[in-house]
């Protein structure tokens, strides 16, 4: 149930930010999108993810930006999937043990198409 509420909140947030991102930008400024990410200590976040039988697929290091200050926030990335059901969750983990669900969803499928960037110039 909490996953449904979380997915609903993320969906509403994405809908609102999509509308914001489509608003007219001042000349010369690139669009900016603000989202909310629910956070909890890692053990509690993992319990939510485990309730969907998602397993850790890969980890990495990454950066997000504070919506309030624009300050870069460095953290670890954890990507969980349930390959049988197609659900997935992306979590950013910070030094203090706080974990934030950046995005989650369904219909996870491996990409089998052509390589997207092979050293060629990206088309406009």
Q: 98, 58, 101: which is closest to 80 by C-alpha? A: 58
> Does 73 score more than 60 pLDDT?
yes
How far apart (Å, rounded) are the C-alpha atoms in residues 54 and 16?
Answer: 28
pLDDT in the model for residue 17:
47
64 compared with 32, residue with greater pLDDT: 64
Whole-structure pTM value: 0.67
Structure-block tokens of residue 3: 């996953």
For residue 10, give the DSSP letter: H
End-to-end alpha carbon distance in the chain: 42
Domain-by-domain residue ranges, the chain?
2-23+36-105
Residue pointed to by tokens 């050293």: 119
Is residue 52 left, alpha or beta, with left meaning phi > 0 and alpha meaning psi from -120 to 50?
A: alpha
């Amino acid at each position: 149930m909490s996953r449904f509420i979380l997915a609903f909140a993320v969906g509403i947030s994405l809908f609102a930010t999509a509308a914001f991102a489509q608003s007219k930008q001042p000349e010369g400024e690139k669009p900016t999108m603000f989202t909310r990410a629910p956070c909890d200590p890692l053990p509690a976040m993992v319990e939510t993810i485990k309730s969907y039988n998602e397993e850790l697929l890969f980890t990495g290091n990454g950066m997000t930006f504070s919506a309030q200050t624009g300050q870069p926030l460095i953290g670890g990335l954890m990507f969980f999937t349930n390959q049988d059901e197609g659900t997935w969750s992306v979590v950013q983990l910070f030094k203090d043990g706080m974990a934030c669900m950046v995005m989650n969803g369904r219909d996870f499928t491996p990409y089998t198409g052509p390589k997207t960037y092979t050293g060629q110039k990206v088309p406009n």
